């Protein structure tokens, strides 16, 4: 295994590609880099990766984005989804994305459990993460955050 990469050295286009590998296969949505994108956080999902080089990976999207991703994954109309089902879906997407990030960084560490947090409970270190990547697919906006340490 190659030496682990630092969070700041991760290429934004590569990160968008990693997210799209997950979302295109399970939701039918592929993203493009959109640095100006910063969706209003309707849902924030975070997942710690503990170990020698601890990091936290997070996904943020607005309600329309979360509904679109969940709808694509579950293959049902967005209006039929309740918040609990959307949260479960976004946690599952985050789990797969975090696995991709872990592999890209060459980390030999275990994934933690994804959790949903409210914007007012967001740790300051995630408010200004080491890496923040905005991406879009049409009107759907998503932000990937990666911070050193586990929160």
Domain span at residue 114 reads 7-148
User: What Rg, from alpha-carbon coordinates, does the chain have?
Assistant: 14
For residue 78, count other CB atoms closer than 10 A to its CB.
Answer: 16
For residue 28, count other CB atoms closer than 10 A to its CB.
Answer: 14
Grouping H, G, I as helix, E, B as strand and the rest as coil, residue 107 is coil
Q: pLDDT tens, 21-65?
A: 999 999 999 999 998 887 788 999 999 999 999 999 999 999 999
CA geometry: angle 13, 31, 60, nearest 5 deg? 95
Q: What percent of the chain has pLDDT over 90?
A: 80
Asked if residue 1 is part of any domain, the answer here is: no
Residue whose entry in the numeric block shows the structure tokens 């408010």: 127
**What span, in angstroms and rounded, lies between the C-alpha atoms of 8 and 37?**
19
Structure tokens at 94: 């985050």
CATH classification of the domain holding 32: 3.40.1550.10
Q: Read off the pLDDT band of 123 (50, 70, 90).
A: low
Q: Read off the pLDDT band of 1 (50, 70, 90).
A: low
Query: Is residue 4 over pLDDT 80?
Result: no
Asked if residue 2 is part of any domain, the answer here is: no
**What span, in angstroms and rounded, lies between the C-alpha atoms of 95 and 105?**
15
Asked if residue 31 is part of any domain, the answer here is: yes
Number of independent structural domains in the chain? 1
Specify the pTM: 0.93
Asked if residue 124 is part of any domain, the answer here is: yes
């Amino acid at each position: 295994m190659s030496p682990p990469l630092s969070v700041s050295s991760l290429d934004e286009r590569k990160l968008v590609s990693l997210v799209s590998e997950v979302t295109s296969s399970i939701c039918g949505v592929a993203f493009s880099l959109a640095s100006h994108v910063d969706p209003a956080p309707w849902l924030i999902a975070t997942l710690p990766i503990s170990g020698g080089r601890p990091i936290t990976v997070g996904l943020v999207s607005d309600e329309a984005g979360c509904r679109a991703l969940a709808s694509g994954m579950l293959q049902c109309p967005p209006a039929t989804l309740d918040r609990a089902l959307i949260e479960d879906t976004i946690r599952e997407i985050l789990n797969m994305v975090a696995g991709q990030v872990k592999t890209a960084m060459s980390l030999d560490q275990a994934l933690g459990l994804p959790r949903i947090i409210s914007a007012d409970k967001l740790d300051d270190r995630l408010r200004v993460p080491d890496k923040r990547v905005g991406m879009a697919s049409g009107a759907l906006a998503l932000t990937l955050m990666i911070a050193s340490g586990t929160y």
